[in-house]
Amino acid sequence: MPSEPRMPLPPGPSDPFDVNVDEATFRVLPEWMETYGPVVRTVSPHGADDCYVVFEPDFIQRILVSHHRNYVKGRGFERVKMLLGNGLIVSEGEHWRRQRRMLQPAFQRPSVARLSGVMRAVTGRCLRRWRAAAEAGQVLDMTRETSTFALEVILESIFGEDLKRFRDDAGSTPFHMLVDETVRDLQLAVRFRALRREVLQLADWRRRRGIERADFLGLYLAARDAQTGAPMSDEALVDEVMTLIVAGHETTGVTLNWIWHLLAHHPQAEARLHAEVDTLEGAAPPRFEDVPRLPFARRLMDEALRLYPPVWMFTRRALAEDRLGDWAVPPGTQIALPVYCVHRHPAHWEEPERFDPDRFLPERVRARHRYAYFPFSMGARRCTGEVFSHVEIAIHLGWIARHLRFEPLGPATVPLDPGVNLRPREGIRLRPLLRTRA
């Protein structure tokens, strides 16, 4: 009986290429998407397994959702693990499943609602600084400012009133190296990991005194495995705290940076945001309950995440043989899911380079392939902090935009730095101006 013919492999460039989270890959992917189609096969120059770059939403759904157990974290996570340890972002298997179950309650809506008070307080301090800059005619490095804002929110959400134990006389903390140093290299990883000891000391201090708090550290300390009743080990606890510090501030900070940049260059959208936030009442930042009243702010965020997804490429590795349409996926195949390219694919997005928040009106979302948009990933490994980030951004926009507008000091299109997160190569500079109302 003749053997079944072997499935073909996808097309791709003839020259070997090392697909990675780096500038060379970022520059070549749009060309491959146009030249080769929905799946591109590349051969490693180092003799490693082939890599498939996947642009097709149906296949993205298969990899991230319907067959996700066959795909584990892929190439590129070594650098992240060096910085964060074995937290949710990089862990696999039963350890990841146990940690996910234990941490999930900390990110559900009741917890986010409690922590929205931190978001409001930090937003209020941010507004005071930016108002002072506007009154003095100063220019803001918005990339640094939004990074600082988001870091303060996540640090206060993790450590609560105990954050003062880390602050120096100037009010800074050693964690602010994440704002000061934008390159995620070995040197930064060594310095950041040295802070693990201080985090563990604080956790141990709370445990010995029976201190219970509703911040993230308190919720992590109180978490128990549903099957065994055991708490997290010290190592797992610190891994998750360090992961939350980095992941909880970098994506939100850079997204806010892009939102303010886009608004400064699109005055009509800025005016729509102003009209929306002016309907809110009170002389304090929006509350958690106000967030649903800011639908245009949400669409702004979604469109910024479409154009500039902080994690611009996810990677996976096939454990066993699979198929993507008519193409074979051998075991060990590295998989690259280029979020940035899929979010700008003309087959799924009309005029994909154009800024248009109304792409995310409900009727337009329903008409689009669900997996053409996945800035927080999809499926079992979808980001646990997504709701927290949404609420934080809405509160920030809802309060700042009631008082300030921004004038651009550079071009609308800026060079990009496709490091671990997609950032502008140089800081975005904006001039804050006090709003005048009729």
The DSSP-derived string for 210-263 is T---SSHHHHHHH---TTT-----HHHHHHHHHHHHHHHHHHHHHHHHHHHHHH
CB 337 within 8 A of CB 24: no
247 falls within a domain: yes
Instruction: Identify any residues that bridge with 424 across adjacent strands, giving them in sequence order.
Output: 416
Find all residues with CB under 8 Å of 288, minimum gap 6, and list them. Answer: 112, 113, 116, 391, 395
Residue 238 inside a domain? The answer is yes
Mean pLDDT in residue range 185-192: 82
In a domain, 7, yes or no: no
CB 8 within 8 A of CB 323: no
Residue of 332, 279, 437, 311 whose CA lies nearest to 378: 311
What mean pLDDT is predicted for residues 128-138? 97
Residue 227 contacts residue 364 (beta carbons within 8 Å): no
In a domain, 4, yes or no: no
Pairing of strands 51-54, 334-337: parallel
User: How many other C-beta atoms can be found within 10 angstroms of the C-beta atom of residue 110?
Assistant: 10
Is this prediction's pTM over 0.85?
A: yes
Mean pLDDT score of the chain, rounded to an integer?
Answer: 93
DSSP codes, 404-438? EEEEE-S-SS--EEESSSEEESS--EEEEEE----
pLDDT in tens, 57-115: 999 999 999 999 999 988 766 666 767 778 888 888 899 899 999 999 999 999 999 99
- For residue range 349-368, list pLDDT tens digits in order: 999 999 999 999 999 999 99
Range of the domain at 93: 23-434
CATH number at residue 337: 1.10.630.10
With respect to residue 2, please indicate whether it lies within any of the assigned structural domains: no
Assigned domain for 405 exists: yes
- Phi/psi for 222 (5° steps) reads -85, -15
Show the tokens assigned to 328: 């074979």
* Structure confidence by residue, pLDDT tens digits, 58-67: 999 999 999 9
Structural domain includes residue 108: yes
What is the mean pLDDT of the segment spanning 257-262? 98
What burial letters (b/e) apply to 407-432, b meaning 16+ CB within 10 Å? ebeeeeeeebbbbbbbbbeebbbbbb
Q: What's the structural domain count of the chain?
A: 1
The answer to whether position 18 is within a domain reads: no
pLDDT of amino acid 77: 65
pLDDT surpasses 60 at 3: no
Using a pLDDT cut of 70, give the percent of the chain over it.
Answer: 96
H helical segments located in 309-431? 339-342, 362-366, 386-400
Residue 2 has pLDDT above 60, yes or no: no
pLDDT of residue 4: 47
Alpha-carbon Rg for the chain in angstroms: 22
